[in-house]
Amino acid sequence: MSFLEYNVARVPQGPQKLLALNWALIVAICAVVGIGLVTLYSVAGGDARWAEPQAQRFVLGLVAMVIVGMIPIWFWRNVSAVVYVGAMLLLVAVELVGVTGGGAQRWIDLGFMRLQPSEVMKIALVMMLAAYYDWLPLSRVSHPVFVAIPVAIICLPVLLVIQQPDLGTSILLLAGGGAVMFLAGVHWAYFATVIAGAGAAVWAVLQSRGQSWQILQDYQYRRIDTFLDPESDPLGAGYHITQSKIALGSGGVSGKGYLQGTQARLNFLPEKHTDFIFTTLAEEFGLVGSVSLLGLYFVIIAVCVAAAMRMKDRFSALVTVGVAVTFFLFFAVNMSMVMGMAPVVGVPLPLVSYGGSAMLVLMVGFGIVQSAHVHRPRRGDEGRLIRR
């Protein structure tokens, strides 16, 4: 069913909407955040300097999620283009007045917090693509012209983000946007072509090394060497991942115990409260703690997918699964990064790493999932549709 025909019959009203929220999703999110707060307290050496502001942000995000969930899902469909354009303008603003940190210009200083517009774009992009495919007839989904439009929608913010530079977020935007296109029904041949092209590009980059037509600079090839063999430069480019692997391995099955992680407490781990916080969790709680967190992550995804399967309109289903895919990419890339399975690209661990923008934007994204869940058509409403 297209969102041009939206069912509002038997949708909960007033206080009933609170009861209609997807409480399984809320409980799972709270459990993950709880693990994050406990880990942040440990990373700080038994100090709440990171855990306390993170808890305050979560409370604010939880309120935002509920408020967003109370608003009818058709509203979010109708403002998707406005949200996307607003996120694009914020990305342009970063280029003009952005704050620089760690060698990258990614933030806008709002006074009370630093906003990272690329985080906003992750959810805005999902909303825009879901609204586009809700509008587009199924018969045109794989038409080249109508495939080019979402490709442009994805590539425009990617080009701006990669200039910051922020390779990690660029990858997430590409992968998340591509996933929504695939789920919307775009023919697999397009994706096979892109994958084949990417493989050919990687082959060309590697084969060009030392040739007159060398594609990358020498230092960029050294980064590839370090990724493939971090022990080749353990005190330089390979330091981060080497220390991360030491922490991961030293935790064993049950871990060293809470507040007993030596790699974090002795400051061997870089970015221990943001990108590499998973290594602290693994060191102190071992394989048991790591698998528990991973299990909670998959519970969140499973709840979102199960909710999407009960939805009757394309926008609600696509935006719900799109948020779930974005969330999956967050923790999949982060965990792969700290385990040495992917290059270090600066992607935080969702709902666990210290940070305001990522936390608040994810909670708003889950709020849209809640809105779709609360306002979905109920059984017995067939034929009672109104046009929006």
Which DSSP state fits 383?
A: T
Residues of the chain with pLDDT under 70: 1-14, 101-104, 112, 219-220, 223, 233-237, 264, 266, 378-388
pLDDT of residue 88: 94
Identify the three-state secondary structure at position 105.
strand
Q: What is the pLDDT of residue 7?
A: 46
Alpha-carbon distance of 58 to 363, in angstroms, equals: 8
Phi, psi of 107 (to 5 degrees): -120, 155
Least Cα distance to 267 among 4, 38, 78, 44 occurs for 44
| pLDDT at residue 19 in the model | 82
Find the angle CA(323)-CA(324)-CA(325) to the nearest 5 degrees.
90
Q: Where are the alpha helices (DSSP H) in 98-238?
A: 117-135, 144-162, 167-184, 188-207, 218-228
* C-alpha–C-alpha distance, residues 388 and 369, integer Å: 20
Check residue 236 and give its pLDDT. 67
3-class SS shares of the chain: helix, strand, coil, % to 5: 65, 5, 30
pLDDT digits (tens, 9 = 90+) for 220-260: 677 677 777 777 766 666 777 888 888 888 888 888 888 88
Rounded to two decimals, what is the model's pTM?
Answer: 0.86
Query: What pLDDT was estimated at residue 378?
Result: 58
Position 383 scores a pLDDT of: 37
